Chain A
Amino acid sequence: MTGFLQDIGLSYELAVLVAKALGVAVVGAFGLLWTLLGIWIERKVAARFQDRVGPNRVGPFGLLQSIADAVKIILKEDIMNRHVDRWPYNLAPILSTLSVMLIWAVIPFTAAWVGADLNVGVLYLVAVGSLGTVAVIMAGWSSNNKYALISAFRAVAQLISYEVPMVISLLVPVMLAGSLSVQAIVKSQHIAYLFAVPMTVLIFLISGQAENGRGPFDLLEAESEIVAGFHIEYSGMKFGMFYVGEFLHAFTLSVLTALLFLGGWQGPLAEKIIPLGFVYLLLKSVFVYFVLIWVRMTLPRVRIDHLLNFNWKFLVPLSLINLLVVAFLWKLMPDTDQINSFADALGPTLVLFLANVVMFAGVAWWLREWARRDREHIEARRAVVAEPAEATAAAGD
C-alpha cells in the first residue's frame, strides 16, 4: 500500500499518513457497517427468545432490514426542542458513538492486521471508554428536559460505578500476560484465559453489560419510568447515532471479551493463513454477543438501589479479592513468567481453574447468606406492617 502511494509520487511520510488514514476509514466503516448486521442478529435472536420470527420481509431472512431502517431514520425529521443548548446537544450523539468507535483503533483483527498496537492498549480502552460518560452528561443537560437530566444523572451513577470492577477485572489478563498491549495479551494466550480465570470473565461481562446499559441494567432507558432516558429529546439521525453507539458498544464488548479472554484471533493455522484469524475472532465475538443477548432477554430489569448495591457491596470487593487471589497463585507457581507453549500453560491454567471453582463456591454461599438475611429483614418488616392492619380489621367487625 505504502509502496504504491510512493510510486505515484508521494513522499514516504505522506504515503504512510495516507495509508494510515485509509486504514482508519476501513476500520471505522467496518465497525459501523457491522453494527447493521449486529442489529439484525440481535433482532433475530431476540425474536427466537420471544417465540417470534423477527425481521423476515426485506431481503433474504430479513437481512436488509437494518439497511432499510437506516434509510428510514435518515429521512426522518429532526425535531429539536427550541430551548436546547445547541453545541453540546449536537456533539453528544457523535461523542457517544465515537467513544466506542475509538476502541477499534487498537483491536488486533489477526496476527498482522492491527491499527495501532499501542504499548498501553488496555489503558487506552479504559480511557476512551470513559468519554462515553461525558457524552451522556452532555446529552442530558443540553436537552433542557427534566426527564433527560434526571436520567443522565442515573446513567452517570451507573456508568462510573461499574467502571471500577470492569477495570479491575481488566488487570487480570494484563497481569498474566505482563503487557498492556492487546496484541501481546492475545499472543500470550496459549490456552484461552477463560479457562484460567472464569470468575474474571464473569465480572468483566457483568460490568461491561452495565456500562453498555443493556440487559438487566437497562434503567438508563427504562421506557416505563423515565420515558426514554437521557436521549429523550433526540430524534431522527441524532437519535440513530445513540442507537448505533449502543449496538456498536455491545459488539465491541464481545470483541474485547474474545480478545482478552478467548484467545482473540488464535486458532488452528491462524498464524500461517492470516485472514483465517479474522474469521476466528468474528466467530468468537458473535458467540459472546449471543450470550449477552441471552442474558438481556432472560433477566428482568434491576432497581437502581439494587444496581448500586450490587456494584459497591458485591462486585467491587469481589473483583479485588479475585485479582489478589489470582496474583497470589500466579506467584506461587514456578516459571509463570515464561510461558511459551501450550504445555507450559497447562499446569497454571489447571491450578487457577480449580481456585476459581473454590471461589465460585464461596461466592454462591456468600450470596445465599445475603439473600437469606434480606428475606428475614423483609419478612420482619412485613410482620410489623401486617399487625396494625389486622387490628383495624378487628375493630371494624
Chain B
Amino acid sequence: MILNEWVFVGLFFLLGPVLLVVPIALSKWLAPKRPTPIKQDAYECGAEPVGLAWKQFRAEYYIFALVFLVFDVELVFMFPWALAYNKLGLFALFEMVIFVLLLVVALVYTWRKGALEWS
C-alpha cells in the first residue's frame, strides 16, 4: 500500500530527466557548432587562463559544512518528535528543550570561538 504512492515518485525520477534532456538534445541538433581554440578556453574575464582550476583549494567553507552536518543530524531527531507531538505530553517538550539547548550552547561556543567568521 505504502509503496503504491512511491511508484509515481519512482517514475518521476525516471521520466523527469527525459523531459529536461529533450530541450538540450533539441539544441544539440539545431544549434550551430563552430568551435575555435580561443572560444573553447575557460572564460576568466578575458584574461588567458593560467593552468587548470583543479588545484588544491583552501576551503574555509569546511566549518559551515561541519556545523550543517551537526544540525542535519539534529533534525533527524526533531522530525519524529514534531510528527508525534500531538500525542505526547508536556514532558516531551522539556526533553526537546534540553536537546536543543545543548546544541545552542555548542553553537554559541562555536560563535564565540570565532569559527563562524568569514575569513
- A interface vs B, CB < 8 Å? 16-17, 20-21, 23-25, 27-29, 32, 70, 73-83, 93-94, 97-98, 101-102, 104-106, 115-119, 123-124, 141, 143-149, 153-154, 156-157, 160-161, 163-164, 167-168, 171-172, 174-175, 178-180, 227, 232-233, 236-238, 240-241, 304-305, 308-309, 312-313, 316-317, 320, 323-324, 327-328, 330-331, 336-337
Contact of B9 among A116, A149, A161 (CB under 8 A): A116
- Distance in Å from the Cβ of A335 to the closest Cβ of chain B? 11
Contact of A144 among B53, B64, B89, B111 (CB under 8 A): B53
When chains A and B are docked, how far (Å) is the Cα of A6 from the Cα of B79? 41
Residues of A within 8 A of B57 (CB): 149, 153
Inter-subunit contact B93/A328 (CB<8 Å): yes
Inter-subunit contact A94/B82 (CB<8 Å): no
With contacts A20-B11, A77-B31, A240-B23 taken as known, whether A171 is within 8 angstroms of B53 at the C-beta atoms is no
Inter-subunit contact B23/A74 (CB<8 Å): yes
Residues of B within 8 A of A20 (CB): 7-8, 11
B63-119 interface with A by 8 A CB criterion: 64-65, 67-68, 71-72, 75, 78-79, 82-87, 89-90, 93, 96-97, 100, 104, 107, 111, 116-118
Contact of A80 among B13, B17, B27, B40 (CB under 8 A): B40
Contact of B23 among A141, A144, A164, A237 (CB under 8 A): A237
With contacts A102-B16, A116-B8, A160-B64 taken as known, whether A78 is within 8 angstroms of B33 at the C-beta atoms is yes
Chain B residue nearest in CB terms to A118: B5
30 pairs of residues in contact across A and B, judged by CB atoms under 8 Å: A70-B23, A76-B27, A77-B31, A78-B31, A78-B33, A80-B40, A83-B42, A94-B17, A101-B19, A115-B12, A116-B7, A117-B5, A145-B42, A148-B53, A149-B53, A164-B68, A164-B75, A175-B83, A175-B86, A178-B87, A236-B31, A237-B27, A238-B24, A238-B27, A309-B118, A316-B107, A320-B104, A323-B82, A324-B96, A331-B89
Inter-subunit contact A32/B19 (CB<8 Å): yes
Inter-subunit contact A312/B111 (CB<8 Å): yes
Give the dominant DSSP class at B's interface: helix
Inter-subunit contact B26/A336 (CB<8 Å): no
Residues of B within 8 A of A331 (CB): 85, 89-90, 93
Inter-subunit contact B118/A171 (CB<8 Å): no
Residues of A within 8 A of B41 (CB): 81-82
Interface mask (B13-52 → A, CB under 8 Å = 1, otherwise 0)? 1011101110110111011111101011111110001001
Residue among B15, B39, B82, B90 with the most chain A CB within 10 A?
A: B82
Residues of A within 8 A of B20 (CB): 93-94, 97-98, 101, 241
With contacts A20-B8, A164-B68, A180-B83 taken as known, whether A227 is within 8 angstroms of B43 at the C-beta atoms is yes
- Distance in Å from the Cβ of A109 to the closest Cβ of chain B? 13
Residue among A78, A79, A237, A328 with the most chain B CB within 10 A?
A: A237
Contact of A24 among B12, B33, B37 (CB under 8 A): B12
With contacts A77-B33, A179-B83, A309-B116 taken as known, whether A94 is within 8 angstroms of B71 at the C-beta atoms is no
Inter-subunit contact A178/B118 (CB<8 Å): no
Residue among B11, B13, B35, B65 with the most chain A CB within 10 A?
A: B11
When chains A and B are docked, how far (Å) is the Cα of A80 from the Cα of B35? 8
- Distance in Å from the Cβ of B118 to the closest Cβ of chain A? 4
Inter-subunit contact B31/A74 (CB<8 Å): yes
Contact of A304 among B9, B96, B118 (CB under 8 A): B118
